[in-house]
Structure 1
């Protein structure tokens, strides 16, 4: 179901897992992050917003934390709402925001990010340090 929030923005309400309805105001409808670190460790986030609801998953090999279901969805949605970059933002600013928001160190070997913005634009980013 689609509703308007108090700011007049459209939000999608629903949950593909059959739980409580979920509202999102994120600027992303798809967010797929994979950060590789030395020693074959990685940090991965998957977020998909569809009409049927929101799905998210976190795989954090650095801290041995793996989230799915509502826990992952709530965690990831809170982080995505803190991000302010869009398809016009400089790459260096995107890296800074990702590292800060997800509390990641900057000694990564590779970062891959694919996002679908709420405008429908899909962008892929590849960073190395």
Structure 2
């Protein structure tokens, strides 16, 4: 009677171990990156929408990167920019606003996200990076840039209306200098 149940138990146990097993080929992901990947996956809006610019000239960062979160690809692209931090907030009547953040942190992790109340869009992580990076890359802001011209350029690049009530932009350049534009109407 015991032999009758032994074979199915051995088979079931083997299948369970095989399903949980690993071939050891995966790279160890630091705990912070693993948490960031989980947070990004949980917060992502999986609508499958393409870039906000509608062009495919930039190759999007893929979530299947070796670190599991696309951080290596995002880091490489961010290092090519003149900015390590781009933080935009534009407020409109009726409590609508557009907020965007693209930042290469000192620990070389990349944070990307935006919220567009007017169009009901909120994205984080790789999807937000793929939408924001091509837009930020187009900007050529310097510490000596004319504020009014740059605000109009940013509104145009991001396809935002110019009837804002508050506009705030914080930039940190690669050399560490910080630049801010703030306008209240």
TM-score bracket, shorter-length normalisation: 0.7 to 0.9
Q: Give the structure with the larger helix fraction.
A: 2
Alignment correspondent of 1:63:
119
**TM-score computed with the length of structure 1 as normaliser:** 0.81
Instruction: Give runs of ≥4 in structure 1 deviating > 3 Å.
Output: 15-18
Greater share of strand: 1
Per-residue displacement from partner, 1:33-84 (whole Å, max 9, x unpaired)? 1100010100000111134331111010010000101000121111110101
TM-score in terms of structure 2 length: 0.58
Give the whole-Å Cα distance in 2 for the aligned partners of 1:127 and 1:83: 19
Write the distance in 1 (CA, Å) between the matches of 2:175 and 2:153. 20
- Could you say which residue in structure 2 is the equivalent of 1:40? 95
| Larger Rg computed on CA atoms | 2
Higher RCO (CA-CA < 8 Å; seq separation 6+): 1
Q: How far did 1:96 drift? A: 1.3
* Aligned positions, number: 115
- Where do 5+ consecutive residues of structure 2 fail to align? 1-32, 38-66
